[in-house]
Amino acid sequence: MDVPKTIGARIRACREQAGMTQSELASAAFVTRQSVGNWESGKTLPDVQSLQLVAQALGTTVDGLLGDEVPAIARETTEARRQLTRCLASLAVLFVFYLVVSVIDVSFLRGEPNYTALLACNGIRITLAAFSIPVAKRMREIAHGRELGDAVEIMLFVEGYPAGKEPPNNIFYRTILTNIPTLYTLFIVALAAVYIAIVYA
């Protein structure tokens, strides 16, 4: 049984019975019309807070919307959390390997360049990048299916925080996760600066 589609069909039936449009339901649940469309088509599942608001707007209960699918939803959530954890761990390992290969690559630039070693390092980097593509794609699919918008929401989900929960007030959540693109850019610039410094030293 496709749990999201079953629940989506139930939401749609209740909405139509209540004589509401998707836009009206979206307004009552404080989400976008697209979110309601995604729920009804079975692309995503509403979070607990949204379910409560939807049930209230449609004159039913959360149990009425979920039916007997609660255990299946719990299993799907656990599996999505497990897969996201594996994706994050895999990307972290690939990034560390990429960094190590880059450091080794820089060492081959000292003195007389070893072009065979440089070619091997570039090949390894390309291979690591190729491995990261399907992992990142799967991670995006899970995040989209759970309507996780950014790195903070993804990490909150992985750590089991309920939807809508404020992130912890620490450096990891408030600084690192909110500035990943900037930190990655700084890393690339620093790596390029090291390359240039060694080549022209």
Residue 99 main-chain phi, psi, to 5 deg: -65, -45
pLDDT at 74: 77
Angle, CA 84 vertex, CA 156 and CA 178 arms, to 5°: 45
Q: Is the pLDDT of residue 170 over 90?
A: no
How much of the chain, in percent, has pLDDT values that exceed 90? 26
Q: Are 65 and 55 in contact (CB under 8 A)?
A: yes
Q: How far apart are CA 9 and CA 65, in angstroms?
A: 9
Reported residue count of the chain is: 201
* Total tally of structural domains belonging to the chain: 2
Residues 186 and 155 in one domain: yes
20 lies in the same domain as 63: yes
Q: What is the pLDDT of residues 39-51, one digit of tens each?
A: 899 888 887 788 8
Domain boundary among 34, 68, 102: 68
What is this structure's pTM?
0.67
Q: Do 153 and 162 touch, CB atoms closer than 8 A?
A: no
Answer for the pair 128, 97: CB distance below 8 angstroms, yes or no. Answer: yes
| pLDDT value, residue 94 | 93
Q: Is the pLDDT of residue 6 over 60?
A: yes
Question: Which domain covers residue 61, as residue numbers?
Answer: 3-68
Model confidence over 30-40: pLDDT tens digits?
A: 888 998 998 89
Residue 75 resides in a domain: no
CB 28, CB 83: distance < 8 Å: no
113 and 178 co-located in one domain? yes
